[in-house]
Structure 1
Amino acid sequence: MKDILIIAHFTQIPGEKGNGRFHYIAQKLNKRDINIEVVTSSFSHKTKKQREISRSQLEKTVDYKLTMVYEPGYKKNISLKRLFSHYIMGKNLKKYLKNRSRPDLIYCAVPSLSVAKIAAKYAKENNIKFIIDIQDIWPDAFKMVFNIPIVSNLLFFPLQKTANFIYSSADEIIAVSETYAEKALRVNRKVKRAHIVYLGTNLEQFDKLKNIEKRIRKPKNEFWIAYVGTLGHSYDLVCVIDALKILRSKGINNIKFIVMGDGPLKEKFEVYAKKNCVETIFTGRLDYSEMVSILTECDVAVNPITHGAAQSIINKHADYSAAGLPVLNTQESEEYKEIVRKYGIGFNCINNNAEDLADKILLLYYNADIRKIMKKNSRKLAEDKFDRNKTYSEIFKILEEKIEKTF
């Protein structure tokens, strides 16, 4: 039987909240008479805790083999301790691979860099086809938080060198956005064309969850604005709160900001919303089904990304479209801004400009007909670009073609 090893440092495991890409891929591949193993970390990046699940529990919840390699962990996303933690996991992965039978193909998520580097070296030394799936671009994401001219470039040079090694080692490049793929192609001499497969969601499953009896109902006299995702440095919820404060000063008091997610800045955002008397509900991290139930009750979604952030096409884009929501976007990524324009799913707003965002909210608040058109367009985008049942077929085709060539 053909053997594919999936290495995904930050994937979710069954029982954890979310909508993981690699769990979905492993499940689908396992039904195609392919031996699948997913290797991930013993440490949960989201909860910042060691995972506690027995082998017998794993065997009951997944059909494929799931292996967790020990990683010591860290408390802060941007820290030397996190990089050290990744380094230790990389060393432990190296030991694990040494004692594992040689796979026919390695499919590796990037980042982290420490783990992907070990996988790339192992593939090269053992003449194994190596496919990368770029989820984020490091060290660019770190530079946004720690950005000191010249100093930052020197500090992050080793990470950039590692990233370039991983990119150049790939036999195929899959990426969650054009932006990420272009970065990898600049240093890869083997790959002519990358494959862009957005993170997306399972629309069939999303719709089933949407149609389950609602756990929460929006009062008819309220207007709900949704945010889904991490509450961290890349996400400008302060601008959204400022915009809603402006609208309150104009006498609009029935807008409610629904924030679904968790992160290091959650307390800061909660305090800021309370200080500015903006009605905001912070739900914390939800099960995917709970998130869908609330999201589909909302009127509009916001995509408030901070200036200079490295993000391109991300998870929340798929969820917003699956829910058929108009989007108010402050993200500077030209790739996503073009999608907003092309599909007519909302408005691109001036980054970190509360007045402009308030004006766009007001436009949608008073125009149900415009919202209706944008809702339809948003759902069309989900069906065209974000439905995993359609778009992930490209990933399966690449993996099967590559593995066939090994025999």
Structure 2
Amino acid sequence: MDIVIISNFCSNLSGNGNNRFLYLSKLLSKRHSVELITSSFSHSEKKQRYAAEIVDLPFKVTLVDEPGYSKNISPQRFFSHQTWGANVLEYLRSRKKPDLIYCAIPSLTAPAKVGEYCKEIGCRFVLDVQDLWPEAFAMAFNVPIISSLAFIPFKNLADKAYSSADAIIAVSETYMRRASLANSKAAIKKIVYLGTDLSEFDSYVSTGGNACNHGAITLAYCGTLGNSYDLDLAIDAVRIAQDRTERRIRFLVMGSGPYEAQFKEHASETGIDCRFTGRLPYGYMCRLLSASDIAINPIKKGSAGSIINKHADYAAAGVPVINTQESPEYRNLVECYSMGVNCSCGSVEETAKALSLLVNNDDLRTKMGVNSRKCAEELFDRSRTYRELAELLETI
């Protein structure tokens, strides 16, 4: 088959990252002709990238022009995505008709236009729901009535994309329910967590040498340092828990983002033992995470997020999780697998209590860590779940 995969936010085209669409493209290219269409603009680095920068991959990569933006939440970003969507459609009209188009949502303009185009040419259209837009932005623009009215055009775009899909893949049950509200006709609907390849993850950990924790109990966070992530809560919880134990607590923050300077300043003011590493190569992050003792998932109230990348990494590392995320789907996983402690969203005191409990109880940390790894093996291992997804696409 001639398969086109479209992903606006396909980062790390060096092939060394953990991107869902690079992994799926590589897997499908073993039996099919695959072209991955992504943006010329790197969302994570906020700069343009060029074809010459792409390493040799077993599939074609096409960079479609996007003007870019300096801030994640800005009118400039919406214009940039709109332009990219139009350019994607123009490019598709210039190439031969594919057998199947597999498209990520978000962003919104490209999926809406591509879904319409697939109907026009009689091409199968599969949508992969990665996040809920505009719901995710509503958290940042939480102004009653005004926010609802402002996002109506974006909701319409999302519904247009959902309704045009012949099949829907989603990274969580929560996202699948949302897409299904606009599409009851799709014969195939499958949930495939973002996940990680456990054999690759383990190879990073085993071949990387010693990742010293400096004799402290290490609490780890990995991911974006942005609006949805309550690192201030985590910092305050560490400060309180440190006063309740004789064991030293070290907070390891891996990642970067627009709130990085703010979080660093707050950590400095509290005087806790905290290290910010910035953005790391995926393999090195895996190694540091696996050498940690506890992980924290501090998501702010109102977040539209459900099952996200860090959940798979935390589970693969076999560490217990302190979770403040409201998502019932992830809270149920934490509870059912007994792989951590759920805390009320926004509660510093509950988070500090959970941290104190785990810091002072080695046996409990070990037990929950084993359960966390079991969750990864059963639900998050890409070597199995993505193979099943590839086989499903072949039937479509």
Correspondence for 1:188 among 183, 190, 195 = 183
Gaps of 5+ in 1: 403-407
Gaps of 5+ in 2: none
Counterpart contact for 1:300–1:327, Cα < 8 Å: yes
Matched to 1:265, the amino acid is Y
Correspondence for 1:397 among 383, 391, 395 = 391
After superposition, the C-alpha distances for 1:379-404 in whole angstroms (9 at most, x for unaligned) are: 000000000011112311221001xx
The CA RMSD over aligned residues, in Å, is 1.3
Aligned to 2:102: 107
After superposition, the C-alpha distances for 1:235-259 in whole angstroms (9 at most, x for unaligned) are: 0011011111112333646101000
Aligned to 2:236: 242
Matched to 1:135, the amino acid is Q
Partner SS state of residue 282, structure 1? strand
Matched to 1:14, the amino acid is L
Give 1:15 shift. Answer: 1.8
Alignment of structure 1 residues 223-262 onto 2, 5 Å: 223-250=217-244, 252=246, 254-262=248-256
Correspondence for 1:202 among 197, 206, 220 = 197
After superposition, the C-alpha distances for 1:207-256 in whole angstroms (9 at most, x for unaligned) are: 1111013253113x310000000000000011011111112333646101
Give 1:93 shift. Answer: 1.1
Correspondence for 2:129 among 127, 130, 134 = 134
Change over 3 Å in CA distance of 1:17–1:29 after alignment to 2: closer
Are 1:6 and 2:1 matched, yes or no?
no
Counterpart contact for 2:166–2:187, Cα < 8 Å: no
**TM-score normalised according to structure 1 size:** 0.95
Change over 3 Å in CA distance of 1:22–1:166 after alignment to 2: same
Aligned to 2:339: 345
Partner SS state of residue 189, structure 1? coil
Matched to 1:10, the amino acid is F
C-alpha separation in 2, matches of 1:194 and 1:255: 44
Partner SS state of residue 229, structure 2? coil
Aligned to 1:23: 22
After superposition, the C-alpha distances for 1:288-339 in whole angstroms (9 at most, x for unaligned) are: 1110111111000000000000000000000000000100000000000000
After superposition, the C-alpha distances for 1:255-292 in whole angstroms (9 at most, x for unaligned) are: 01000001000000000000111111100000011101
Aligned residues with identical type, % of pairs: 47
Change over 3 Å in CA distance of 1:274–1:252 after alignment to 2: farther
Matched to 2:94, the amino acid is N
Correspondence for 1:154 among 132, 139, 149 = 149
Matched to 1:224, the amino acid is T
Are 1:312 and 2:302 matched, yes or no?
no
Aligned to 2:321: 327
Correspondence for 2:41 among 26, 40, 43 = 43
Between 264-273 and 88-97, report the one with greater CA deviation: 88-97
Matched to 2:42, the amino acid is S
**TM-score normalised according to structure 2 size:** 0.98
Counterpart contact for 1:337–1:348, Cα < 8 Å: yes
Give 1:98 shift. Answer: 1.3
Matched to 2:45, the amino acid is T
Partner SS state of residue 194, structure 1? strand
After superposition, the C-alpha distances for 1:58-117 in whole angstroms (9 at most, x for unaligned) are: 4x5201000000001001111110000001111211211111110010000000001111
Counterpart contact for 2:244–2:356, Cα < 8 Å: no
**Number of residues paired by the alignment?**
396
Matched to 1:239, the amino acid is L
Partner SS state of residue 182, structure 2? coil
Aligned to 2:208: 213
C-alpha separation in 2, matches of 1:52 and 1:94: 20
Partner SS state of residue 378, structure 1? helix
Aligned to 1:89: 84
Aligned to 1:405: none
Partner SS state of residue 67, structure 1? strand
After superposition, the C-alpha distances for 1:25-58 in whole angstroms (9 at most, x for unaligned) are: 01011111x110000000000000101441xx64
